[in-house]
Amino acid sequence: MPAGERYHDRVAGWLTGFAVLWSLLGMTAGVYIAAELVWPTIDFGQEWLSYGRLRNLHTNAVIFGFGVSALMATAFYSVQRTCHVPLFAPGLAWFVALAWQATLLAGGASLLAGWTGGKEYAELEWPIDIAIAVVWVCFAVVFFGTIARRRIQAIYVSNWFYGALIIVIAMLHIVNSLAIPVTWSKSYSLFAGAQDAIVQWWYGHNAVGFLLTGGFLGMLYYFLPKHADRPIWSYRLSIVAFWAFTYSYIWAGPHHLHYNAVPEWVQSLGMIMSLVLLAPSWATMVNGVMTVAGAWEKLRTDVALKFIVLSLAFYGLATFEGPMMSIKSVNVVSHFTDWTVGHVHSGALGWNALITFGTFYFLVPRLVGAELHSTRLANWHFWLALAGVMLYVLAMWGAGVSQGLLWLSLDEIGELSFSFKDIMASMAPYYALRLVAGVVFLSGAVLMAINLWMTVKGRVIVRVAPPAVAESAA
Amino acid sequence: MTFLSPWRLARLTVRPSEAGEHLAAATPEAHDVILRLVLPLSVVPPALAWIGGATFGWRLGGGEPLYIPAGGLALISLAYFVALVTGFVSTALVASWMAGTYGARREFGAHLAFVALVGMPAILASVAHLAPHAFVNMLLLIPALIWCLYLLYRCLPAALGTTPEQGILMASSVVAYVLVAFVSLLGITVVLWSGGIGPSLGV
């Protein structure tokens, strides 16, 4: 190891800060649009405040702002420690961190201005899409460059998941964004009709798969053993689960297109591969649960571990519910209802947000070499998060199943029993409950932001040297 | 055992520390718990749902209430009863299976009694079924379910003889099972609807 060599942790620290800010912005936008579904006039006639624009801001801010910034932070932090080398091209890593924020700011502004490509989770227009692709390729260069220079022969499993995230998201984003620009703010997809729908949901579902699942599994596989202070329960199972997950996820997208104008066999294949996906998903859950079960003493001192334990419970729920909802006879009732919204949020709040919160409570004190400012606040955050996500999911299950049943109900002469307008008007109480759930969850995130800010205030990032590597490990 | 009565158990739900101690001191037989707690408790929600549904019809929103014919209503209530008994027993089975991992006591009877205690607030809140409006039911059942969660986390370590830390882990694993079981029940119900069993749907 060259003398004076240090890990580049400042970039991970800044990305963590950006992720916290995006979480507050994105969740606030979510709460606001939840309120708009209860009181539709609170857009005050302003286009930029309308549901159609703020909803896109909400999803982009939480997925790409909060989620991806957190993934970049933890990937940069963990790849150095699992390879025992500092980041490759640290200047480029700073470019990735800052350019990603600038791109998202521009993207958010463009969404509020009404620029949209009209594809879900891929609304951003072509200039922003190109910027995303450039930043993402730079992310890949830093990450894989660090792995290429590693001093440990084996590539730890978290890096497999982060690597899959980087490669697959690049592939999905570039292919799905292929478009013919018309003006700076408008382009048309290169694909048309059913092909466009298939490409879009190949992208959409695998963004869920490789970003919101695979990427965060990378986070889990590095930070859970660190929290627990013991190795992962079965390393072999983690590798088997990785390859099974990678192979099966990529096929599952067409389950978003059941009963649409795509071939029947494509829909059925999407359903079958979704069901197959349950095996690798739950293999990871079992691995996580058994790892933490052997380290229960840590819960006495490590409040963050509670978040990770609970995130595994919701990971189990979301990865079971998803395949179940892909079954066509379930999907015929659940599709287009709020059941889907509840499912997405059981994953997004219960799995993604909770594991990230747990990771931040672990990471931030270590980055600045201090204790967490307040364990009590973190405990409050835990209970608010649990209450918020439970309320949210229950409200949306109630609304979704009611919608599915009422939309399809026939009277004795075979006509629809209820009008769509009346059904939706009757959803207001559920939406009010969802609003309460969002406020509860958001208030927990605010407590976290205060807690982390008080932890880092007046401190600097600790400079850590890579450990010496034994000859046998190299 | 003194707590093997629905009335006594209902009182214990508002005294969590006492509830944990009572259950810790007891070694109830599984068949006793099933006969004296699980079956009587499981009868209450379906009976209330049957009375409410037959008298007022279910209002899911969207206009006129849904009146289900008496035969169909009885069948749904019976299915509800079976689902509740299965839910109590399967949760206790899963919890006693997990007990070895989390250093808790393993007797099935103790787990059944604990699951009955945890489920009690939801059983009490099922009085909402007498007013069969979906949202009214949610409004009463959600706080009750939050109380169930509180009892689960609060009482598990004492009732099942494990440390508070392992109790948190085990309670979270039980939550995962219950959520998955509940969503499975939703899925099975919807598959039955799609197959023509239950309400008349245009699928």
Where are the domains positioned within chain B? 6-194
Q: Where are the alpha helices (DSSP H) in A113-234?
A: 126-148, 157-176, 193-206, 216-228
Question: How many C-beta neighbours within 10 Å does residue B25 have?
Answer: 12
Residues pairing with B133 in the sheet:
B59
Relative to beta strand A186-189, strand A179-183 is antiparallel
B interface test, pick of A417, A422, A427 with most B CB neighbours within 10 Å = A417
- Rounded Cα–Cα distance for residues B126 and B143 (Å): 12
The token pair at A87 is 């980041």
Exposed / middle / buried, residue B67 (Cβ in 10 Å: 0-12, 13-18, 19+): middle
Looking at the complex, report in whole angstroms how far the Cα of residue A117 sits from the nearest Cα belonging to chain B: 33
Residue of B nearest to A415 (CA): B202
On the question of pLDDT at A472 being above 60, the answer is no
Average pLDDT rounded to a whole number, residues A212-235: 94
Give just the sign of the alpha carbon dihedral A423, A424, A425, A428: positive
Digit-coded pLDDT (tens) for A155-191: 999 999 999 999 999 999 999 999 999 999 999 999 9
Give the one of A409, A423, A433 whose C-beta lies nearest to B201's C-beta.
Answer: A409
The token pair at A279 is 């095996």
Digit-coded pLDDT (tens) for A226-254: 988 899 999 999 999 999 999 999 999 99
- Rounded Cα–Cα distance for residues A382 and A442 (Å): 12
Chain B residue numbers with beta carbons less than 8 Å from the beta carbon of A332 are: 194, 203
The token pair at B158 is 């004492």
Q: Does A433 touch chain B (CB under 8 A)?
A: yes
**Per the CB < 8 Å rule, is B176 touching A292?**
no
Instruction: Please name which of B62, B44, B178 lies closest in space to residue A393, comparing C-alpha atoms.
Output: B178
Residue of A nearest to B178 (CA): A317
Looking at the complex, report in whole angstroms how far the Cα of residue A331 sits from the nearest Cα belonging to chain B: 9
Digit-coded pLDDT (tens) for B7-50: 888 888 989 888 888 888 888 899 999 999 999 999 999 999 99
On the question of pLDDT at B1 being above 60, the answer is no
- Rounded Cα–Cα distance for residues A297 and A223 (Å): 17
Domain boundaries, chain A: 10-456
Binding-face residues of B in 117-136 toward A, CB within 8 A: 134-135
Report yes or no: A58 and A26 within 8 Å, Cβ to Cβ: yes
Q: Does A429 touch chain B (CB under 8 A)?
A: yes
Q: Where are the alpha helices (DSSP H) in chain B?
A: 6-12, 16-25, 30-33, 39-56, 70-99, 108-125, 134-160, 164-194
Amino acid at B120: M
pLDDT for residue A471: 60
Binding-face residues of A in 171-190 toward B, CB within 8 A: none
On the question of pLDDT at B65 being above 80, the answer is no
Residue of A nearest to B194 (CA): A329
Whole-angstrom CA distances from B178 to A401, B46, B112 are 18, 19, 14
Give the one of B139, B163, B180 whose C-beta lies nearest to A317's C-beta.
Answer: B180
Q: Sorting pLDDT into bands at 50, 70 and 90, what band is A193?
A: very high
Looking at the complex, report in whole angstroms how far the Cα of residue A204 sits from the nearest Cα belonging to chain B: 23
Q: What are the φ/ψ torsions at residue A290 (nearest 5 degrees)?
A: -70, -30
**Per the CB < 8 Å rule, is A299 touching B199?**
no
Residue of A nearest to B175 (CA): A313
Q: Does B194 touch chain A (CB under 8 A)?
A: yes
Q: Which residues of A305-331 are buried (b: 16+ CB within 10 A; e: fewer)?
A: bbbbbbbbbbbbbbbbbbbbbbbbebb
Give the one of B62, B149, B203 whose C-beta lies nearest to A418's C-beta.
Answer: B62
The SS3 assignment for A152 reads coil
Q: Using a pLDDT cut of 70, give the percent of chain A over it.
A: 99
DSSP B197: S
pTM, rounded to two decimals: 0.93
Chain A residue numbers with beta carbons less than 8 Å from the beta carbon of B169 are: 289, 292-293, 296, 299, 309
Q: Does B202 touch chain A (CB under 8 A)?
A: yes
Chain B residue numbers with beta carbons less than 8 Å from the beta carbon of A330 are: 187, 190-191, 194
CATH number listed for the domain at residues A10-456? 1.20.210.10
Give the one of A285, A297, A394 whose C-beta lies nearest to B138's C-beta.
Answer: A394
Q: Does A317 touch chain B (CB under 8 A)?
A: yes
Residue of A nearest to B144 (CA): A391
On the question of pLDDT at A8 being above 70, the answer is yes
What is the CB-side half-sphere exposure of residue A436 using CA atoms within 13 A? 16
Report yes or no: A342 and A397 within 8 Å, Cβ to Cβ: yes
Residue of B nearest to A424 (CA): B62
The token pair at B115 is 């699951």
Digit-coded pLDDT (tens) for A276-326: 999 999 999 999 999 988 888 888 788 889 999 999 999 999 999 999 999
Digit-coded pLDDT (tens) for A30-73: 999 999 999 999 999 999 999 999 999 999 999 999 999 999 99
Task: Name the average pLDDT for chain A.
Answer: 94
Average pLDDT rounded to a whole number, residues A328-345: 95
Give just the sign of the alpha carbon dihedral A167, A168, A171, A176: negative
